[in-house]
Amino acid sequence: MITFFADKKLRFLDTTLRDGEQTPGVSLTPEQKLKIASALSDMGIHTIEAGSAMASEGEREAVKLISEAGLRSECCTYSRAKHGDIDIAADCGADSIHLVVPVSDLHITKKLGKTRDEVFKMAIDAVRYAKERGLIVELSGEDASRADPSFLRNLFREGVRNGADRLCFCDTVGLLTPEKTAELIPEFCLAPLSIHCHNDLGLGLANTIAALKSGASCAHVTVNGLGERAGNTALEELVMSLEKLYSYDTGISKEKIYPLSVLVSKLTKVPLATNKPIVGEMAFTHESGIHAHGLLRDATTYEPMSPETVGRKRRIILGKHSGTASVKAALSELGYEPDDQQLKEIVSRIKKLGDKGIKVTDADVMAVADAVMMLECKPVIDLKQFTIVSGSNSIPTASVTMVINGVEVTGASTGTGPVDAALKVLEQSVAFAGDIRLEEYHVDAISGGADAMVDVTVKLRKDGRILTSRGARTDIVEASVEAVVSGMNRLLREENENRSRNTD
């Protein structure tokens, strides 16, 4: 193992609540920011950039909430080189400011309409004033990777002389390479230096690691790599790269990575890319028969780390690439014990479903197994009717009548849309038979046009057990109801139901 960082104490400044929130369309309430900040603090992040206090009343409230929450992490806020910004930061109770000063000629002349001398004087004056207000100062050079190195070095040196506690080198539009980073960074380690990388050309993580190897001691990161344009260096990718590839103990509670990722995705409404490293849906999901067979014998054959390390679980999904070993393992987990002949037939049918382009869910596997093993699957839920009322002048409302274990249940619920209303009334109506929660919802259009067939996949949870199910209709509400009812039926089957092979 490579151990570049054995003698270093690296720090993490998380800017999800500032740079991450600048992702187009993302807007967090003060309460949501506090929830994320608390999770970041709990996992061991050193500094949390809580927002831009000067931006709005809501931002000021968020910084105050976080600064007063008693978190272990340092509370930081973004600040321009203006006394007004610094006053607001101090009045909100921030511990530190991320004092951002444009340093490239492009930004100085085109954005600010000023000269280098004017910006220099503004920066030093701001550092002095922030120290007078009792703040920790991280002096940050915006667009540093396109700045004149001598100007930036002089600015940093004078900033430190006037009280700046830390410095930050910003690759604002992601134009660094690892080689260029390694060449530049040692010139600017005049005080503890942070590296702030954007991922416009996909090199954010590589450049951040190169900077840390070259003398920087702090990395700016965001959860899920959120941020403007292509985002920032991803917290989860940097932490696990340092831990796994460089044998460096980050001090981060790694098992909290995935829950935090899900929380941020939910609150920002920015879905995770399916193939995103560490936290994407497919990061620890396998279908290939060769891969699954190897995993069942030794997980390290096709995984760089244990999914439990980051708070996840391994998934083996079934489809046309699945082999006998993975199908048998999935059936065993679902409670089925087919004989060899039955298993062979189940594998064949699952492959045929995969060949048709169908996503094979747990409910599909159970249906195939029931049919092959000639097991009787009595539906627990008999859906009699459901009605949706939705329009421009009405609140989406769903009503449903179902017979559950012989008991007729009628319910109604409102929602943010017709699908939301339908799924809520289904959850409420089955509550007396079991607490079933919708964990995930995904929809795909199978065909184009106004009459497109939609494929809805849901993930449901009951008593710690998770099951996937699907529905396919031309109407998205009907497809959603089909998927949920099918999954609920499977989850509500009696636990002692006989699923071993039928020998009669």
Q: In this structure, are residues 218 and 189 in contact, taking their beta carbons and an 8 Å threshold?
A: no
318 and 461, same domain (yes or no): no
pLDDT value at residue 283: 77
- Whether 496 maps to a domain, the answer reads no
In a domain, 504, yes or no: no
Tell me, what's the pLDDT at 495?
A: 46
Q: d(Cα 43, Cα 501) in Å, to the nearest integer?
A: 47
173 located within any domain: yes
In a domain, 1, yes or no: no
Q: Are residues 402 and 354 in the same domain?
A: no
In whole angstroms, give the CA distance from residue 77 to residue 75: 7
Name the nearest CA neighbour of 258 among 279, 239, 288, 238.
Answer: 279
DSSP-assigned letter for residue 107: I
Whether residues 55 and 167 fall in one domain: yes
Spatial contact of 468 and 484, defined as CB atoms under 8 Å apart: no
Q: Are 429 and 402 in contact (CB under 8 A)?
A: yes
Q: Is the domain of 225 the same as that of 86?
A: yes
| 339/502 Cα distance (integer angstroms) | 10
Whether 74 and 174 map to the same domain: the answer is: yes
In DSSP notation, 458-479 reads EEEEETTEEEEEEEEESSHHHH
For residues 342 and 391, membership in a common domain is answered with: no
Q: Which token pair is 36?
A: 């994320």
Please state the domain count of the chain: 3
Residues 85 and 156 in one domain: yes
Give the domain extent around 486: 381-491
Question: Dihedral through CA 221, CA 222, CA 225, CA 228, nearest 10?
Answer: -100
The whole model's pTM is what? 0.75
Are 59 and 91 in a shared domain? yes
Residue 128 has a CB neighbour count (10 Å cut-off) of 15
Instruction: Name residue, tokens 């509670």.
Output: 253
In this structure, what token pair is assigned to residue 179?
A: 């080689």
Select from 206, 240, 268 the last residue of a domain: 268
Q: How far apart are CA 211 and CA 11, in angstroms?
A: 13
What whole-number distance in Å separates Cα of residue 193 and Cα of residue 495? 58
Mark the ranges of the chain whose per-residue pLDDT is less than 50: 1, 288-293, 495-496, 498, 500-504
CATH number assigned to the domain comprising residue 37:
3.20.20.70
Q: Are 287 and 322 in contact (CB under 8 A)?
A: yes
CATH number (domain holding residue 310) = 1.10.238
Amino acid symbol at 191: A
Are 212 and 297 within one domain?
no
Which domain-ending residue is among 315, 349, 372?
A: 372
Please tell me the predicted confidence (pLDDT) of residue 491: 86
Q: Pick the closest to residue 328 from 347, 315, 313 (CA basis).
A: 347
368 and 396 share one domain: no
Backbone angles phi and psi of 137, in degrees to 5: -115, 125
**Residue 455 domain-assigned (yes or no):** yes
For residues 83 and 126, the answer to whether their CB atoms sit within 8 Å is yes
Q: Are strands 394-404 and 407-414 parallel, antiparallel or unpaired?
A: antiparallel
